[in-house]
Amino acid sequence: MCLMQVYKHFDMKHEAASLLESRAEQYMESWLDRHDKERRNDELLKAMHNLVQTAEILSTIDAGQRTHRACARASLLSLQIRIPDLVWIGLTETNARRIFVDQSRFQEALIVAEAYSINQPMEWAPVFWNQMLKPDLIELFVAEFVLVLPLHPPMLVELARFYRAEVAARGDQSHFSVWLSPGGLPAEWGKHLGRSFRSLLRRTRDMRLRLQLATLATGFSDVLEGCNAVLDKVPENAGPLILRKGHGGAYLPLM
């Protein structure tokens, strides 16, 4: 009788899950040890299967964090199979953050963040900023982001600081960006940055926070005027109960 059968027979679920997780690790290490041309998806599929089984077992004993971790790692393996040109698994913390920041698609970024336990509000700030010169791209990114995660005020404030520093550093357009990778910056970089930051401001429902961000970033006088006009009509103690009628007749909170 093999070890897994023993664990199943005696209902030793923690031990069974750990064994499956260990097997997944072995398959991943074996895949990483091979040269690029010798790497096969079957090892990744076996590792993924073991992690899915791990999650299934852990979910029956209410081991929430371990279940989530196993699912996140299985998702990362699916990403490795789907996009084999990059190595996604077995990364150091530094390299995981690098590949995280480089992602232009939210779903891939989220998978990396979950798998390497870096899904924290402030970790997302450089991811957003790395796309600020691509307004169309960041608008889609933000739209997908808010469906899953909240736009935390500290992260938005950090982006406002980035924006202000960038505008100050590139006021005459003669120097490379202090935040973005040098080279290839478009002549209308200021317009692109402004449009991208406006997309973030539009997603900020809290008028006081929007006012704070526009003030900190500078250069958004129309946003300041709009926020002040709304806030002048809102009693100080109104809080989140004040609503305004939006497009389509839906009522949206001002705060």
CA distances from 232 to 204, 220, 224, 235 (A): 18, 18, 12, 8
pLDDT in tens, 196-224: 999 999 999 999 999 999 999 999 999 99
234 Cβ contact partners less than 8 Å away, ≥ 6 residues apart = 207, 242, 254, 255
Percent of the chain with pLDDT over 90: 63
pTM for the structure as a whole: 0.81
Q: How many residues does the chain have?
A: 255
pLDDT in tens, 23-38: 999 999 999 999 887 8
